[in-house]
Amino acid sequence: MCEVGYCTAVVVHLTGAGSSGVEELKSHVFFATINWEKLLKRQIVPPFKPVASRVDDAFYFDKQFTSKTPKGNDV
């Protein structure tokens, strides 16, 4: 569900939403060094793999985000 003012992006202007779809996103300069075939085959070693002691471990997240109470989440 969207709150007023937060979901106002025009979809046609989003990267990957054009006629070439995901290929537009994959060819973006930010992703230029990614070998997509190896990625799909899970043959790429991540440059950083965080160590987590628990499934809900938030050690690597800044306190400004972890100290807030989530809104609209009844889980």
Rounding to the nearest 10 degrees, give the CA dihedral for residues 30, 33, 38, 44.
-90
Tell me the C-alpha distance between 37 and 25, whole Å. Answer: 15
For 3-62, what is each residue's pLDDT tens digit?
555 555 565 567 777 788 888 888 889 998 999 999 999 999 998 888 888 888 888 889
pLDDT at residue 17 in the model: 74
pLDDT at residue 38 in the model: 96
Give the pTM. 0.51
pLDDT band at residue 66 under the 50/70/90 scheme: confident
Higher-confidence position of 2 and 42: 42
